[in-house]
Amino acid sequence: MRYLTRLKPLGPFFFGGEITFGEAENKNYLVRSNLFPQQTTILGMLRKKLLIQEGYLKVTDKGEILDIGGKQKIESLIGPKSFDIRETEQGFGVIKRISPVFLCKVDPSSKEMQLFNIAPKDLGMKFKKSSGRSMLNKGSKDFVPFMEGYKSKKVLVDLFIKAGTDERIKVDEIFLPAEKIGITKGKGEVQEEKAFYKQTAYRLINGFEFVCIVEIDSKPNMKGGFVFMGADKSAFIMTVEDYEKSFEDTFSIGPDNGRIVLLSDAYVEENIYEYCYFAMTGTVTFRNIKSSTGNYRLTKEKKKHTFLKRGSVLYPNDRSKVITKMQKPHLQKIGYNIFN
């Protein structure tokens, strides 16, 4: 079964990254939410929702109670472990595939739904090789890269594009910052002199929701309801409906042998640029948080990984090698490394 799973925030949301208030190497008193939840956050939310839905996890006033005796059935439902980037052969029970998170806008009167994903970074531009020589990717090139349509005095901003159209919308027309400023109290309610903090969460403008396509076995049927995600356990209303198209069909931008567009964040080896003429990319850090049915304690991986951001564009000089490096089935299963 394939489901369109909508997540409507009930207030400001905060999706954490590497910069935190916590006791860590990246501790900071100025923190800003990511715009999107990590795919691993969506996977964790879905696994927990299924446990509650099927009666293996009960939420009470005193906390959450897990049916320890049902370990075998739990593993068949959600898999034995949470996602681990190092394990290439993982299963998550009835959850077979999760698409990258994207956005939808729902008309309040007609209930018509419009779907949006991040636009390619080179939207409105065209890559050309100008005469001359340049140093790129640790080597000399017999051309100078030139982006036709690029204006140096105009700041490049992330855009979202409506599926099947050329309609565009800016990030700040969808995401509104919600700032929280305060003072951390010390012992005995004494204010710490250097403990001021500023946290920037976000709201979605009315009508917009997060959405992803989830494929699961025919049973159990997914149900909607309240779910919680993010560092501050932000609340969302989850709505589930049958959906026929795949993510790739929904946001297909047509074949283009001259470039590769990342439709999701992607984990690749650092030397991928050696196989590209040019690239327009951004990066985001990722660190795995893990648990298992044998040990429900959450542990954070020590190693930090760098992903290329969704919307990044690669211009390959060896397309097959770039695609080989991008093809990572265990990541694609949960919505990373999806490209066109």
Place of tokens 């990258």: 100
Q: Across residues 309-328, what is the average pLDDT?
A: 92
Least confident of 20-24, 42-46, 223-227, 316-320: 20-24
Question: Which residues 6+ apart lie within 8 Å of 218 measured at CB?
Answer: 1
What is the predicted pLDDT for the residue at 274? 86
pTM of the predicted structure, to 2 decimals: 0.86
Mean pLDDT of the residues in the chain: 85
Of residues 109 and 267, more confidence is placed in: 267
CA distance 264 to 258: 19
Local confidence band at 137 (pLDDT 50, 70, 90 cut-offs): low
Q: Across residues 30-43, what is the average pLDDT?
A: 91
What is the predicted pLDDT for the residue at 19? 53
Least confident of 122-126, 165-169, 215-219: 215-219
Q: Looking at mean pLDDT, say which of 96-110, 183-197, 274-288 comes out highest.
A: 96-110
Local confidence band at 324 (pLDDT 50, 70, 90 cut-offs): very high
Of residues 238 and 26, more confidence is placed in: 238
Least confident of 7-16, 163-172, 177-186: 177-186
In this predicted model, what pLDDT tens digit does every residue of 291-317 receive, in sequence order? 555 545 556 667 788 899 999 999 998
What is the predicted pLDDT for the residue at 71? 83
Local confidence band at 325 (pLDDT 50, 70, 90 cut-offs): very high
Place of tokens 């939840």: 37
What is the predicted pLDDT for the residue at 254? 66
Local confidence band at 21 (pLDDT 50, 70, 90 cut-offs): very low
Q: Across residues 208-233, what is the average pLDDT?
A: 89
Q: Across residues 329-340, what is the average pLDDT?
A: 95
Chain centroid offset of residue 79 CA? 21
What is the predicted pLDDT for the residue at 28? 57
pLDDT at 24 over 60: no
Q: Across residues 35-58, what is the average pLDDT?
A: 92
pLDDT at 136 over 90: no
Where do the domains of the chain lie?
Answer: 2-119+156-253, 122-154
What is the predicted pLDDT for the residue at 175? 96
Local confidence band at 204 (pLDDT 50, 70, 90 cut-offs): very high
Least confident of 27-31, 42-46, 232-236: 27-31
Local confidence band at 11 (pLDDT 50, 70, 90 cut-offs): very high
pLDDT at 193 over 90: no
Q: Which of 323, 338, 333 is nearest to 266 (CA)?
A: 338
pLDDT at 190 over 90: no
